[in-house]
């Protein structure tokens, strides 16, 4: 079954478009978990237990797992999320020349969806795009201030780079498995892109800690009923100073965000 069909069912089941970002910064994990073999896994497990009823997906960012203990923590986390029937979107921003990206794409045996970087063009994404069951979210207009350095540049055609990326993503969507990453901090671009590519679901990071526009994220991020609004630090570190009660605070933060976003869903 296609990722976006599965996501549609999941969104309906939990009545939520919240993507819970699992970015377990070791410096912010509660002290009482530091004696565990894999503190990031111990942390994520508690976050998943507390938030899964509100999560349309979990979105671990690969950057937080780039060492042997991290890889082990990520593997456990993915399996545990799947055990709770929650799809996993790995935020890895991958792409490379063909033979390398074929290796990268093997991760789709383990996760349900991935973020990819369009900078190297279609062949660098093809092994992801060819996987009919996986979701492929292409970076389009990112949430960070420096996104403008390249993404806002105007081409000879008069389009901006991020608009060309959206047009290409639409062309590359032969398997109905492509979405875009568009930051909640870019409300005007969200609106414009929704008009340009009405059929592509967006992953919208940047609500919460980055202060993005939650209403615009919902109004323009969803294609029909499908799309994802991500918060990472705003959920997982909501109880940073609450010791063993941290997961309860995360549950409340996820529930609050779900309720807030649902006010804007039709
Ligand atoms: O444009 C982008 C693309 C990816 N991200 C990632 O999303 C989360 C956001 O975390 P918060 O703590 O909710 O700010 C994080 O993994 C980013 O690397 C993004 O923010 N913007």
Task: Give residue-wise pLDDT tens across range 173-227.
Answer: 999 999 999 999 999 999 999 999 999 999 999 998 999 999 999 999 999 999 9
**Percent of the chain having pLDDT more than 70?**
100
**Cβ-based neighbour number of residue 256 at 10 Å:** 15
62: left (phi over 0), alpha (psi -120 to 50) or beta: alpha
Longest dimension (CA), the chain: 57
Task: Locate 130 and state its tokens.
Answer: 């060819």
Distance 156 CA to ligand 1 centre (A): 31
- Gap between the Cα atoms of 23 and 237, Å rounded: 10
Q: Where are the domains of the chain?
A: 3-265
Distance 80 CA to ligand 1 centre (A): 22
The superfamily CATH assigns to domain 3-265 is Aldolase class I (3.20.20.70)
- Closest residue (by CA) to atom 1 of ligand 1? 142
Q: Is the pLDDT of residue 6 over 90?
A: yes
Which of 206, 210, 240, 261 to mutate for ligand 1's pocket (most ligand atoms within 8 Å of CB)? Answer: 206
- Gap between the Cα atoms of 93 and 138, Å rounded: 8
Residue 95 — pLDDT band, cuts 50, 70, 90?
very high
- Gap between the Cα atoms of 154 and 150, Å rounded: 9
**Percent of the chain having pLDDT more than 90?**
98
pTM of the model: 0.98
Q: Which residues line ligand 1 (CB under 6 A)?
A: 21, 23, 61, 91, 142-143, 181, 183, 205-206, 208-210, 230-234
Task: Locate 10 and state its tokens.
Answer: 């999941």
- Gap between the Cα atoms of 177 and 241, Å rounded: 40
Mean pLDDT value across the chain:
97
Residue 122 — pLDDT band, cuts 50, 70, 90?
very high
Q: Is the pLDDT of residue 266 over 80?
A: no
What's the confidence (pLDDT) of residue 110? Answer: 98
Backbone angles phi, psi at 120, to 5 degrees: -95, 5
């Amino acid at each position: 079954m296609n990722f976006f069909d599965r996501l549609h069912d999941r969104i309906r089941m939990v009545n939520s478009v919240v993507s819970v970002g699992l970015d377990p910064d070791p410096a912010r994990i509660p002290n009482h978990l530091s004696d565990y073999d894999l503190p990031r896994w111990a942390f994520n497990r508690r976050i998943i237990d507390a938030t899964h009823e509100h999560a349309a997906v979990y979105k671990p960012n690969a950057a937080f797992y780039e060492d042997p203990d991290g890889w082990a923590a990520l593997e456990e986390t993915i399996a545990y999320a799947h055990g709770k029937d929650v799809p996993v979107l790995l935020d890895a921003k991958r792409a490379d020349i063909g033979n390398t990206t074929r290796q990268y794409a093997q991760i789709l045996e383990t996760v349900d969806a991935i973020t990819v970087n369009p900078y190297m063009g279609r062949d660098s994404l093809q092994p992801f795009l060819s996987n009919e069951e996986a979701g492929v979210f292409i970076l389009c207009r990112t949430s960070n201030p420096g996104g403008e350095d390249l993404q806002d540049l105007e081409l000879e055609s008069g389009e901006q780079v991020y608009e060309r990326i959206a047009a290409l993503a639409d062309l590359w969507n032969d398997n109905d498995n492509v979405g875009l990453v568009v930051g909640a901090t870019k409300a005007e671009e969200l609106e414009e892109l929704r008009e340009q590519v009405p059929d592509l679901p967006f992953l919208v990071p940047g609500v919460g800690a980055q202060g993005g526009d939650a209403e615009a994220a919902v109004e323009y991020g969803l294609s029909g009923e499908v799309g994802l609004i991500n918060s990472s630090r705003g959920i997982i570190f909501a109880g940073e100073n609450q010791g063993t009660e941290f997961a309860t605070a995360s549950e409340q933060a996820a529930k609050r965000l779900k309720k807030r976003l649902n006010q804007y869903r039709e």
